[in-house]
Amino acid sequence: MSVNTDRHQTAAARYFEAWNATDPEALGKAVAAAWAPEGSYTDPLADVAGHAQIAAVIAAAHARFPGFVFRPLGSVDGHHDTARFGWELVNEADGSAPVAGFDVVTLDEEGRIRRVLGFLDRVPAGA
């Protein structure tokens, strides 16, 4: 049973804001707003901790997929200090979405992300 709250929605919104920031300064601010200082991000392609390393992973994704944005798929599902949500990486020019997955996040007392466990459901060959 989901007990989705504004806290979970806000954390997911901040998460997508960080993943969609392309300017280095905006990216740094968005990561700091979304993640706790000791926050981490783990998926099949990355395992990092701290704001600088998380920002570097996001910047690398934008370098690999220029002109793409991360968009939520469906709603945020959450309870206690944990939330999960689906996402896709969408080409703004043609609407294609070659990458998709879902993430499970753990929040701190202030609603910032303490940990992300990411799962990739769709990845293009060679990515």
> pLDDT tens digits for 77-105?
999 999 999 999 999 999 999 999 999 99
What the block records as the tokens of 4 is 């989705």
Q: Report CA Rg, the chain.
A: 14
8-62 confidence digits (pLDDT tens): 999 999 999 999 999 999 999 999 999 999 999 999 999 999 999 999 999 999 9
Q: In angstroms, how far apart are the furthest CA atoms of the chain?
A: 40
Would you say residue 5 has pLDDT above 70? yes
Sequential DSSP letters for 11-80: HHHHHHHHHH--SHHHHHHHHHHHEEEEEEEEETTEEEESHHHHHHHHHHHHHHSTTEEEEEEEEEEEET
The tokens describing 114, both together, are: 């303490």
Contact 112, 123 (CB under 8 A): no
Q: What are phi and psi for residue 75, nearest 5 degrees?
A: -105, 165
DSSP state letter for 125 = T
Backbone angles phi and psi of 71, in degrees to 5: -130, 145
